[in-house]
Structure 1
Amino acid sequence: MQKTALVPYADLPRIHHERHVLTSSVDVFGVAHWLLADRAPQPGLDVLPFDALVVSVHPGGYVELTELSALRARWPHLDRLPDGGFVVAASRARRYEDGDQVQVFDALGRETLSFSVGDAIEHLLTDEAGRIWVGHFDENPVGIRCWSSMGHICWTSDGAGIPGLFDCYALNVSGTTAWACPYTDFPLVEIRLKRPARPVRVWANHVRGAQAVAVHGGRVAFYGGYGEEQDRLAHGELTETSVEPTDVGLLTLPDGTLPGGRRVVGRGSRIYVQAEPFTAWNVLDLSR
Structure 2
Amino acid sequence: MQKTALVPYAHLPRTHHHRHVLTSTIDVFGAAHWLLVDRAPQPGGEIRPFDALVVSVRPSGDVELTELSGVRARWPHLDRLPDGGFVVAASRARRYEAADQVQVFDALGREASSFSVGDAIEHMLVDEAGHIWVGHFDENPVGIRRWSSTGHISWTSDGASIPGLFDCYALNVSGTTAWSCPYTDFPLVEIRLARPDRPVKVWANRVRGANAVAVHGERVAFYGGYGEELDRLAHGELTETSVEPTDVGLLTLSDGTPPGRRRVVGRGSRIYVQAQPSTAWEVFDLSS
Q: Would you call these one fold, judging by a TM-score over 0.5?
A: yes
Deviation of 1:60 (Å): 1.9
Q: Which amino acid aligns with 1:127?
A: D
Partner of 1:157: 157
Q: Which amino acid aligns with 1:236?
A: G
Count of residues in correspondence between the two structures:
288
Separation (CA, whole Å) in 2 of partners of 1:137 and 1:45:
23
Separation (CA, whole Å) in 2 of partners of 1:95 and 1:131:
26
1:203-228 CA distance string (max 9 Å, x none): 00000000000000000000000000
Q: Equivalent residues in 2 for 1:9-158 (5 A)?
A: 9-44=9-44, 48-96=48-96, 99-158=99-158
Structure 2 unaligned spans of 5+: none
Q: Equivalent residues in 2 for 1:171-250 (5 A)?
A: 171-250=171-250
In structure 2, the residue corresponding to 1:165 is in which secondary structure?
Answer: coil
Q: Is residue 270 from structure 1 mapped to residue 279 from structure 2 by the alignment? A: no
TM-score by length of 1: 0.99
Whether the 8 Å contact between 2:35 and 2:52 is mirrored in structure 1 is yes
* TM-aligned CA distance change 1:46 to 1:156, over 3 Å: closer
Whether the 8 Å contact between 2:168 and 2:180 is mirrored in structure 1 is yes
TM-score by length of 2: 0.99
Output the aligned Cα RMSD: 0.9
1:133-183 CA distance string (max 9 Å, x none): 000000000000000111001100000000000000000000000000000
Whether the 8 Å contact between 2:47 and 2:74 is mirrored in structure 1 is no
Deviation of 1:43 (Å): 1.4
Q: Which amino acid aligns with 1:243?
A: V
Deviation of 1:188 (Å): 0.1
* TM-aligned CA distance change 1:265 to 1:68, over 3 Å: same
Deviation of 1:197 (Å): 2.3
1:4-56 CA distance string (max 9 Å, x none): 00000000000000000000000000000000000001113675110000000
Separation (CA, whole Å) in 2 of partners of 1:95 and 1:72:
13
Q: Which amino acid aligns with 1:81?
A: L
* TM-aligned CA distance change 1:268 to 1:96, over 3 Å: farther
Percent of pairs with identical residues: 85
Q: Which amino acid aligns with 1:85?
A: G
Partner of 2:286: 286
* TM-aligned CA distance change 1:20 to 1:253, over 3 Å: same
Deviation of 1:98 (Å): 5.5
Separation (CA, whole Å) in 1 of partners of 2:44 and 2:194:
45
Separation (CA, whole Å) in 2 of partners of 1:255 and 1:269:
22
